[in-house]
A and B are shown apart, each in its own frame.
Chain A
């Protein structure tokens, strides 16, 4: 058989060593960030407070008004966007503030740091978005999802897109003095195409569209994520080093 040549020997060894040298350190950086976050709760507290405040304001301002699905879908992603802005930059800003950037530079490759931070941001964004979506579904009057498969797929793909863009922007702004202001300002134009797409997909889920009708939106979100991850992987080396 010819197949074994493809799945054994030098090619497999190369693949194994590539996986070991990239994904094992990345996973360890992800674990480090996760346990650090669970202990210090810098990002979690900021995110939680933002979500609670934003939802309360929306609930008070809406009252018993009936609002169109377009507006409700838009408001959901406004909360998601700004809560992401309040917490996702922490992954790099915290390293900068603690003075551990050089420690990380000394113990791993830039690619491993990027993948580790991206994974952490994705996990944080996804869990945050699920909490926001559940609270929104429970509390906001008139927000009824007719096609849950579209809604949850949008949430997962939207989280991937937010994590992919916010990770590289966080790495860029971490070295700036005015990082608090810079983060949303830099993020908005980069995230705008993604935000328009997720809002459209959320509307489709509320209107009871078939899953196939949202495939175009999903393709845009996947393409957006792939392009941003690819560009970030190339750029990160320059951003991470001096």
Chain B
């Protein structure tokens, strides 16, 4: 089993003198799934961004440990994948071009980049892979975001509103991936959908005093 942990310690974030949250602490280990819940504006997306290094905390720490070593913020991108509504892909390029480009910028081996096409197939947009992303529907863009976030096989997958814009078939593909991610690494989701919470072993409600809900029956 891989040695993999995400440790959040006394985390707080302040935007323009407004405290979004403070004193958030939790640890997620390999083969665990974790949910961040809370009302709109409670800071779910902010916490998701902090977890993947897109934002710096006002105080506290986010530590990613892989193989017993702490990963620096500059190297986090190699281990983390994020799917979120605020992540956009390049609309002037096709879906396949976006994936190839992301793979090349990530400096992935050619074999891994080629397997990106399998991800397009898995998420049901292979037929439209050569069309410009600007012609995609919002659901198709969401599916492409999954392929882009998974191309480097991240140990930690963070999903902010994982099923937004997706039809039943898309939701099914995402659910399968979520289960697979828990088997291989760590899954963290920011959501308010009850159905998403079925997959998690622990959750944190940002609206409540800092309580960590754990379900020992799930991995």
Contacts and interface: CB of A to CB of B under 8 A. Distances in A.
B86 A102 contact: yes
Interface of A: 20-21, 24-25, 28-29, 31-32, 35-36, 39-40, 98-100, 102-112, 237, 241-242
Using C-beta atoms within 8 Å of the partner chain, give the interface range for chain B.
20 to 34
Contact of B87 (A39, A102, A108): A102
Contact of A109 (B49, B74, B80, B104): B74
Interface string B42-73: 00000001001111100000000000000000
B90 A106 contact: no
A20 B88 CA distance: 26
A99 B101 contact: no
B21 interface: no
Interface of B: 49, 52-56, 74-75, 77, 80, 82, 86-93, 101-102, 104-107, 148
A28 B102 CA distance: 9
A106 B77 contact: yes
6 contacts: A24-B107, A102-B49, A102-B54, A105-B54, A109-B74, A242-B54
A106 B87 contact: yes
B68 to A, nearest CB: 21
A237 B80 CA distance: 19
Counting from the closest, the 9 A-B pairs by CB-CB distance are A99-B88, A28-B104, A28-B105, A39-B92, A24-B107, A25-B105, A109-B74, A242-B55, A100-B88
A21 B90 contact: no
A98 B107 contact: no
Contacts of B105: 25, 28-29, 32, 104, 107-108, 112
